[in-house]
A and B are shown apart, each in its own frame.
Chain A
């Protein structure tokens, strides 16, 4: 089993006006290559903080994070992030938004034609060829999120990090994008870490679900192996006893063991 992302004894403390605020403590987690990990927990449990640490957007107060054997010292295109609110640049078209990322990663080695080809391929992967020359404000929320995913995938990252990517979408769009994401991850074998608060989403997509305790001073409570064969179909899974067990285990963790939500952390 190849250790791809290693998180060792990581803690994160923020200085606030009221003094020190311990957001995370004693996080130990090893992620295999090609694995799909979901981070789940109540709001304020620091799951986004942990994702930002892997992204390198923040640095840990204690402990160390490694990616492919090297310490994570800052953000970089080998750890692409799909942001919660898509974060497309509104003055660039969908194509230009993705091209900006492609150009940054590959322009040293490849010519313009190849870069454009890569951009078009990434947009095709999320099924948006027809909207390629549109501006973000001209397309729907689900389409924007797909462009965000295309931008992240186009960089051929070692790790794909997603911060509640479907949180702002309606249930039907979310289900369609989850199916698409499953196909893409199977095709690209991308190592993925996704923050979510949706139990069904976590069980459907992940190989392992990392459940976090309530903050402050949150840490990993339990890790659940989701031993369901792939490719997964949401309709057949709905009656699968293994699926139902996984779902129950996560619900039990969230609503019995961690039922008390700290007001401070909200």
Chain B
């Protein structure tokens, strides 16, 4: 297979045709993948049945996205509102997890005693599905909305603690020796050595967390109801609007992809500045 990356970057002098060909080589495979997916979907559904075909879903999507932000009472809102309220829950739960998890991770990485004290507890709790925590959230908060946020908090916090702690433990001894020889203050050690050294690990933790959070929110909202993309899926199942369920699957996928890419972009920008 020919590697596009090994070719020299297109310069102003490159003929237009060649540049178009390069763009084509980059775009063609993903487009082809999508076309194959939709083709298979069409073949599987064109004889009719309970699953709608691509054309029907397309028509439903055009109708749906023509007015994404309508409000007809608490249980009937546009898809835009549903996505936004899911994102809001993820944002709050995830933000709180970062506020607690990152400092905790730093402490676990720095103090061996604390780490051997807390690690067994984390190992015990981490494999538990976050949804198992939902009843506890409902019990404590007496409301569906904070309970859903609570499950997001629980599922996001583990990767952040683990990755931050690992990052702190992996700060090269050389850098710490530099700090010791210079006799740097604790503040300088944290800002000039620990934080930049741990940042890539922290960003990995954040990316894993937000991926899991977006997976979990759909399931959590199916159970709690209210407004949100997960609840919307369940609602449309009750209404037997299967086109809408398929649209929701695409929307959830696209939002997840955007979150992931945004964080990768952020990580690249930050590590470029600091490496």
User: Which residues on A are within 8 Å of B, measured CB to CB?
Assistant: 55, 57, 74-77, 79-81, 83, 85, 87, 89-92, 100-101, 104, 135, 137, 155
Contact = CB atoms under 8 A, between A and B. Distances in A.
B196 A83 contact: no
A65 B196 CA distance: 35
B174 A137 contact: no
B181 A77 contact: yes
Contact of A81 (B175, B181, B193): B181
Nearest to A104: B182
The B contact surface, by secondary structure, is helix
A77 B188 CA distance: 15
B178 interface: yes
14 contacts: A74-B180, A75-B177, A80-B181, A83-B178, A87-B178, A89-B193, A90-B275, A91-B196, A91-B197, A91-B274, A100-B192, A104-B182, A104-B184, A135-B275
Contacts of B192: 89, 92, 100
A160 to B, nearest CB: 12
B183 interface: yes
A89 B181 contact: no
Contact of B181 (A57, A90, A91, A135): A57
Nearest to B274: A91
Contacts of A83: 174, 177-178
Interface residues of B, number: 17
A14 B139 CA distance: 55
Given A100-B192, A135-B275, A137-B275, A89 B178 contact: yes
Interface string B160-200: 00000000000000110110111110001000110011000
A26 B184 CA distance: 33
Interface of B: 174-175, 177-178, 180-184, 188, 192-193, 196-197, 273-275
Nearest to A81: B181
A84 to B, nearest CB: 9
A104 B183 contact: yes
A85 B193 CA distance: 17
B140 to A, nearest CB: 42
Contacts of B188: 100, 104
Nearest first, the 6 closest Cβ-Cβ pairs linking A and B are A91-B274, A91-B196, A87-B174, A75-B180, A75-B181, A81-B181
B181 A100 contact: no
B207 to A, nearest CB: 20
B181 A55 contact: yes
B177 A87 contact: yes
B182 A100 contact: yes
Contacts of A91: 196-197, 273-275
A90 B273 CA distance: 10
Nearest to A152: B181
Contacts of A81: 177, 181
A117 B196 CA distance: 26
Contacts of B183: 75-77, 104
Contacts of A75: 177, 180-181, 183
Nearest to B193: A89
A91 B178 CA distance: 14
Nearest to A105: B182
A55 to B, nearest CB: 7
A85 B181 contact: no
B269 to A, nearest CB: 13
Nearest to A55: B181
A80 B180 CA distance: 10
Contacts of A101: 182
